[in-house]
Structure 1
Amino acid sequence: MKNVIFFTLLCCVIGHVSYSQTPPDSILPVRGFCIGAPSPAGLNEFIQFIDQELAPRKVNTLVLRIDYNYQYESHPEFRTGNALTKADIKKVVAVCKKNHIRLIPQFNLLGHQSWAGEVNALLVKYPQFDETPWVKMPEKYVWPNPDGLYCKSYCPLAPGLHKVVFDIIDELCDVFETTAFHAGMDEVFYIGEEKCPRCGGRDKAELFAGEVSTLRNHLAEKGRQLWIWGDRLLDGKTTGLGMWEASMNNTYRAIDLIPKDVMICDWHYDRPEKTPAYFAIKGLNIITCPWRKPAFAQQQLKDMIEFRNAATPEMKDRYQGMMQTVWSNAESFMDEYYGRKVPNDTLMSTSRCFRVMYKDINVALGK
């Protein structure tokens, strides 16, 4: 941690830099936007949003949280009646290609296999993959609860698991025509549980790192890159970040065990933390991800640019940029963005954060 503190202090002495003659990708290589995929009914407006709102702001990366909102061919048991088709995805691919936007699908792996009182399709169709089959879903979900249930996880050592997971990854990457895949892997509370006959008693950091490496290696076989959220790689107790934005179950030691070419999406929503320096010192590429507090996003952007300017040549390109996160589907966000729905707090909303952050990004880019 002493290295992190020193590096952070070093970044505070950066002087004024002129960006007007500098290529955008050398200032912020990744200028991203992450959002839940639209329903088929909202697809056309979302495509228009990409064309008319993302592209003019110089967004060059779109992470689309697809999960089960797709009519899978490799595993039709995951299909739902109101999901996007291959033809729908190809429309998104086309508008992204037109605007030179890298399109990346996200499918939550390891954790987030349930939400509130509902188990997601992977564990419904393959209950043998469940890390905690003895934890039953409540009729009414509350937190905290005696089972420590936030979201279910799959057991990374379950026989047959990766055949299914790899099918999903490959199908999504093929239809999205992409060179990257976002596996989520955030907020993993259930891992290496004592009662699990496969992974119980094993080192939680090694289990987490093993799953990261397994997914990364599969993607690398076809020249694709793994992206994940970074919270499980931070020590929640030492940093004071706690159990949500960091790990309190010892997975944080996996930061020294995972491949260095995994892209880390570092999200912090309640403080503009300086953790990108930590990830970069560990040899990992890092993107900072705000949510709904514009002032924090502005500070995180300033930090990211200053980190890049202050860094040694070996460190500079590990600071990859910024990505606005949206934790709703596309329709809900666009309702707020276009004024059809008023947020509870107009000064602290996702759409306002997006507008403010990208205004500052384009000032930095000299646009």
Structure 2
Amino acid sequence: MPPVFGVGSATKREMYIGQLNINSIDPKGSYQFFRRGTGKPFPPDITPDTGDAKPQGGEIPFGTESLGQGAPVGWKWNSLMDTGVDIRINFGQAFFIGAVCLELTGRSGVAAVEVFSLAGESGAHNNTLTCVGRLDAGSGHLLNGEITVPIGVWAATLVVRLQADLKDIVISKLAVIGAEADEPDVYPTPKSLRYQEGELPLSALKAIMIPASDSAAAPAPTPTTAAAAADVEFVASFIKERLRECFGVDLPIITSSGQAPSAIPSANPAAPEGTITIALDAAIKPNGYGVRVHAGGVELVASQRIGLLYAAETLVQLAQKGTVPFCEVDDEPRCEVRGFHFGLPPREEIPFMKRLIRYVLIPMRYNTIFIEFAGGMRFDRHPEISEAWVQGNRAAAAGLQPKFPHGDMVAGGELLEKDEVREFVAYCKQFGFEVIPEVQSFGHTQYITYAHPEIAEVAEEAVKEKKLDTRLADQPPSTHYYHTYCPLHEKSYEIIYDIIDEIVEVVRPERYVHMGHDEIYQIGLCPRCQGKDHAELYELHVRRMYEYLAKKGLKMMIWCDMLQPTERYKTHPARERLPRDIVLLDFIWYFHFDLDLEDNLLPYGYKIIMGNMYSSHYPRFEQRIAKEGMIGGEVSTWCRCDEYTLAKKGKIFDLLYSAEMLWSETYDSRAREIYTAWITKRLPRLRDELRGIAKPFGHQFTSRAISLPALPASSALPAALAEALQRTPTTLWSCSFDFTNAQRLTTTPIEVPVRANYDKLVFLHATANNAMRIAWQPLKEVGRYIVRYADGSQVEIPVEYAGNICVYTRRYGQPLPQQYYRHQGYIATYWGDPLLQAKTGDGRDVTALGFEWVNPHPEREIAAILCCGNGETDADILLLGISGINI
């Protein structure tokens, strides 16, 4: 049940997000039906929506009407003809509106849905309507079934206009999804956040207090108490560093007296005023935590180290404005497993990946890290595998042979030494993450068969390479490499056991090893296996891996596509015979948007993780995650681990969005526009943190508008963008712009005089049309900005569609809906912020991104910037302005 809240409270309220047209929101709202574009009441004539209200067009309070209770209401075609109906919804206060969601029943339909915000008194019929969203059926068609209209504006009154076309209109559901704010105090949304009157200035904080581990009153240390003490001390140091990073506050760490380091009460009477106390409480659920802020200080409590870190990051979020509101936070995760899957990072990107873990995974409350190894770590027992891995990847990079499968994604196609991997894993584990190594076995074993072709699963006649329709399937790797090893060749087991031994020795996993077993394209082909039952071959291999890990006290995870009856494989009968404590990762959901594939496996008693759980495309999440046996999800990269590549593929945005899905019980997939707005506000600082250049919150920077040269004759902007620009202030997100000479770039460069030093430049721009975004391929360059320094040197900045620029008609954060883009569903969500977001007169989106470029040479004076398109597409660059930033 959503909380009841009122506007007049002096105490800050727990923020509500969800359906607004319900009766548990105070002040209570209402709605009315009118004939399109008039103040003339138009009550339904199919199922009268009267409830407790008068039928003749009076205001109907939320919760009393038939529609709000799930009963359909509608209008006959001959009372509508080709006009329509307006549903005027008055909320009684302004909300940030994310979307309007409708469901039309039966054979009813509409030509279009338009949504307007209403300025002025909601009861007046002649006030200004501003179109803030629309969905059109297109010529000769009608909209029916479920309809969602994205909005993304503040409004106290909406008018939902249904355009008729000689069809009945019958509505079974109407939900307006919104929130009280476009930026929450805490994200992901906590289970409970209760505010009290008052706030604590950061200047009132004097110290971080931990229990004294050497107190005479404390019992003799045990491994448990020693571990508890280590957890608390680590978190205290973490908080000290975060407060210094984020606020420039340097607090000492002090110890209490006479208390052991475990089971400390949440309220510590011994704590002096102005202290942050840290406590472990075994009664709190795993990964859960609590935060208490009051006049005396702050209390952080959890049952585990990682939960205390979540509490610390919650404190940082609450304190962003320099004061911390008095509040109580009690939080715990929705999902047991909240994972991130990536390959071993290249050596030069290990520092970046550490920052990603620290500044994304911890604040976003992930708890599990899956690391794919392939051939990216040196194997002492099999140097021939390591040598072949490097040789194969380098030959592929040189164009001498096809791309090495998973080569670039794991260690950048090179080798990490064991000590490097060990140190990186230790870095992850120190925060409390469970690190699960993925050892590819049976399938995706080219890293083994390239060095050992004698064990490859190959037919006597070569298998011909097939090109698949990648809208519907993932393209198998080149048959230049042997994808699978033979499950009946004993040498296969000798090698894979050795690899398991070496990886387990380095990682020292806590519970699980992920053993792959996906996409086994070649099975039952070689002379040993020919004629054998595929399911029996698969089961044999799974069991041998399972039993080998069991001897080490470890359990097993595998991908489960081979166990799904929907696929072309013949191995699914094995699901009836495998050990039920094998955890399955289901990733082929994205081949079957219409099916809940987990239902093929849950009845057998398996636990399932949503594998490759991409927030851009995963359907029916709320219903599916609630099923017994569904224990979480993981976001996968399938690409090289570096800032540019992860940003290009939308993975950083995906991590932030998926965090809300996996953590919060209140996640509502209809609220996408709201979550996107929340994430947008966090990205500028996150970029600086990932680059290692973040300043404390509140740090002031200066901005100066850099004027563009006079407009050439052919530089006209699209009319909708030009009109939106006239209504746009020249300061956006504290960045100053001069829009006087906003223009369309051509292949002839314009020269923008600068003659100043800047730490950053922000280019406010968009494209006139979209350019092709081909999955797994480089982004399309549509032009260049060339920064020329006074000393004659220069830096060239590629302007890449779907990376740092996008078409002006595209709403920021809107997923690419087609199944083809399942792995890379977000474009232009990292390098550029949506500084300009507007609506056309008919409710269509207008967006321009502020692409932030960090100057690698801030000590050099910038003489000028040359800007041009390249003429290779019709995605002309629309350069609206440039802002110079000094931090």
Matched, 1:163 2:494: yes
How far apart are 1:43 and its partner, in Å? 1.1
Are the counterparts in 1 of residues 334 and 664 from structure 2 also a CA contact under 8 Å? no
**Distance in 2 between residues matched to 1:137 and 1:278, nearest whole Å:** 31
Q: Is the 8 A contact 1:292 1:351 kept in 2?
A: no
Work out the CA distance in 2 between the residues paired with 1:278 and 1:269.
Answer: 15
| Alpha-carbon spacing, 1:38–1:64, altered in 2? closer, same or farther (3 Å) | same
Is 2:615–2:657's contact at 8 Å kept on the other side of the alignment? Answer: no
Which of 604, 609, 613 is residue 287 of structure 1 equivalent to? 609
Q: 1:36 & 1:221 partners in 2: Cα distance?
A: 26
- 2:590 corresponds, among 237, 248, 269, to 269
Contact 1:192-1:204 within 8 A present in 2 as well: yes
Kindly indicate which of the two structures has a greater share of residues assigned to strand.
Answer: 2
Query: How far apart in 1 are the matches of 2:653 and 2:341?
Result: 15
Offset, 1:219:
0.3
Q: Which residue of the partner structure matches residue 640 of structure 2?
A: 329
Is residue 529 of structure 2 the alignment partner of residue 199 of structure 1? yes
Deviations 1:254-305, CA, capped at 9 Å, x for gaps? 10121111110011224274222332211111101235452426x33x2344
Note if 1:95 corresponds to 2:427: yes
Unaligned runs of 5+ in 2: 1-189, 194-283, 288-332, 391-413, 469-474, 668-887
Aligned: 1:184 with 2:505: no
1:27 equivalent in alignment to 2:358: no
Match of 1:125, SS state, is coil
**Counterpart residue identity of residue 354, structure 1:** L
Give the counterpart of 2:559 among 220, 223, 229.
Answer: 229
Contact 1:304 1:321 in 2 (8 A): no
Query: Which residue of structure 1 aligns with residue 545 of structure 2?
Result: 215
Count how many residue pairs are aligned between Structure 1 and Structure 2: 306
Q: Residues 295-319 of structure 1, C-alpha deviation per residue, up to 9 Å, x if partnerless?
A: 426x33x234421xxxxxxxx4x32
1:358 maps to which of 656, 659, 684? 659
CA contact (8 A) 2:609 2:630 kept: yes
1:50 aligns with 2:374: no
CA contact (8 A) 2:632 2:662 kept: no
Counterpart selection for 2:385 from 78, 81, 93:
78
- Cα 1:110–1:130 change in 2 (3 A) is same
Change (3 A) 1:304 1:57: farther
Deviations 1:222-259 (A, max 9, x none): 111111101000012xxxxxxxxx3x231111101211
Rounded to whole Å, the distance in 1 between the matches of 2:573 and 2:552 is 28
Distance 1:290-1:131 versus aligned 2 partners, 3 A rule: closer
Superposed CA offset, 1:169-205 (max 9, x none): 1110110110321121111121112xx2211111100
CA distance, structure 2, for counterparts of residue 83 and residue 160 of structure 1: 24
Q: Deviations over 1:2-36 (max 9, x none)?
A: xxxxxxxxxxxxxxxx9449846673111111112
Distance 2:651 2:360 in 1: 15
Asked if 2 retains the 8 angstrom alpha-carbon contact of 1:50 and 1:95, the reply is no
1:175 maps onto 2:501 in alignment: no
Equivalent residues of 1:43, 1:88 under 8 A apart: no
C-alpha distance in structure 1 between counterparts of 2:651 and 2:463, whole Å: 30
Map 1:143-158 onto structure 2 (within 5 A): 143=467, 152-158=483-489
Q: Of the two structures, which has the highest relative contact order with CA contacts closer than 8 Å and spacing of 6 or more?
A: 1
After superposition, the Cα gap between the structure-2 partners of 1:360 and 1:65, relative to the gap in structure 1 and judged at 3 Å, is same
Change (3 A) 1:101 1:159: same
CA deviations over 1:125-164 (Å, ceiling 9, x no partner):
22221110645588xx65259xx95962111001322111
- Asked if the contact 2:373–2:439 (Cα under 8 Å) also holds between the matched residues in 1, the reply is yes
Percent of aligned pairs sharing the same letter:
25
Runs of 5+ in structure 1 lacking a partner? 1-17, 114-119, 237-245, 308-315, 344-348
- Distance in 1, matches of 2:550 and 2:540, equals 15
Give the aligned partner of residue 111 of structure 1.
443
Q: Is the 8 A contact 1:269 1:292 kept in 2?
A: no
Structure 2 contact 334–663 (Cα < 8 Å) conserved? no
Q: Given residue 174 of structure 1, which amino acid in structure 2 is its aligned partner?
A: E
Query: Residue type matched to 2:658 in 1?
Result: M
Match of 1:251 among 571, 575, 583: 571
Larger of the two Rg values belongs to structure: 2
Equivalent AA in structure 1 for residue 656 of structure 2:
R
- Conserved 8 A contact 1:127-1:133: no
In 2, distance between residues paired with 1:202 and 1:224? Answer: 30
> How many Å separate the matches in 1 of 2:664 and 2:614?
20
Mapped pair 1:39 → 2:346: yes
Which one has the bigger helix percentage? 1
Q: Residues of 1 paired with 2:666 and 2:506: CA distance? A: 32
Q: 1:365 to 1:66 in 2, by over 3 A?
A: farther
Amino acid across the alignment from 1:94: A
Letter in 1 for 2:344: A
The superposition leaves residues 43-95 of structure 1 with CA deviations (integer Å, 9 ceiling, x where unpaired) of: 11112211221122111111111111101112121225531111211222222
Q: Is the 8 A contact 1:152 1:190 kept in 2?
A: yes
Aligned partner of 1:216: which letter? Y
Secondary structure of the structure 1 residue equivalent to 2:485: coil
- Aligned residue type for 1:356: Y
User: Alpha carbons of 1:151 and 1:350: their partners in 2 closer, same or farther (altered >3 Å)?
Assistant: farther
State the alpha-carbon separation in 2 of the partners of residues 38 and 174 from structure 1.
19
Runs of 4+ in 1 over 4 A off after TM superposition: 135-138, 148-151
- Give me the whole-angstrom Cα distance separating, in 1, the residues matched to 2:448 and 2:645: 31
Query: Which whole-Å CA distance do the structure 2 matches of 1:306 and 1:213 have between them?
Result: 30
3-state SS in 1 of match to 2:638: strand
| Aligned partners of 1:292 and 1:352 also within 8 Å | no
RMSD (Å), alpha carbons: 2.7
Distance 1:50 1:175 in 2: 19
Secondary structure, in 3 states, of the residue corresponding to 1:269? helix
Q: Determine helix, strand or coil for the equivalent of 2:637.
A: strand
8 Å CA contact 1:290–1:296 kept in 2: the answer is no
Task: Indicate how the Cα distance of structure 1 residues 365 and 214 shifts in structure 2: closer, same or farther if over 3 A, else same.
Answer: farther
Letter in 2 for 1:229: W
Name the TM-score, length of structure 2 as normaliser: 0.33
State the secondary structure of the residue aligned to 1:157.
coil
> Does residue 394 of structure 2 align to residue 64 of structure 1?
no
